[in-house]
Structure 1
Amino acid sequence: MEFCDECGSMMKTEGDVWVCSSCGAEKPRSEAAERQAVTTQGQQKSEVVDTSEVSSEDMGPTTEAQCPECDNDRAFWEMKQIRSADESETRFFTCTECGHKWREDDH
């Protein structure tokens, strides 16, 4: 990803140049620099953590949340940053009655 030196907007590629979609500034592409760019392809995904043997005291705080399985109105909750840092955290819930797990993302 490249950002414009003139206005700071994100640039796009057009052939062998980067072009700013806001102000139209251009700069040449560098094959060596693009080879060193970090991508999310091939990175490890988050793993599932088994909480089936954790006591309710150790599960953490609860909140009012409607379980989609049993309609109970309390759930343990936890927030984790699973996407890039410029996106909001994901909220994970575990029903206090049936143990059903679900998540809630901001869109």
Structure 2
Amino acid sequence: MEFCDDCGSMMKADDGIWECGNCGFTKPKGDASEYTVTDDQEVSEVIESSGETSLPETNALCPECGNDRALWYMQQIRSADESETRFFICTECEHKWREDDN
């Protein structure tokens, strides 16, 4: 996919050239190899994870093990006019539960 240098619209491929349907700007199609990801490039893009989480921690009683610390996050799972749902993950047993606003 290519975008027009002049107006930013999406361009169409036509007989070896890119042509903008909005403003008529054209440019030659490049070699397909310039868009190909090599094995070396793909390997260099892998990001190693330390396994640590960046979720905040709070006081919350786990219903499974009784631990009083949990990681938490909020997520919109209902319609946009409803409040977000809070999810908790126990720091001890990793039990996950949710809390809705009533």
TM-score where L is the length of structure 1: 0.47
Which of the pair has more CA radius of gyration? Answer: 2
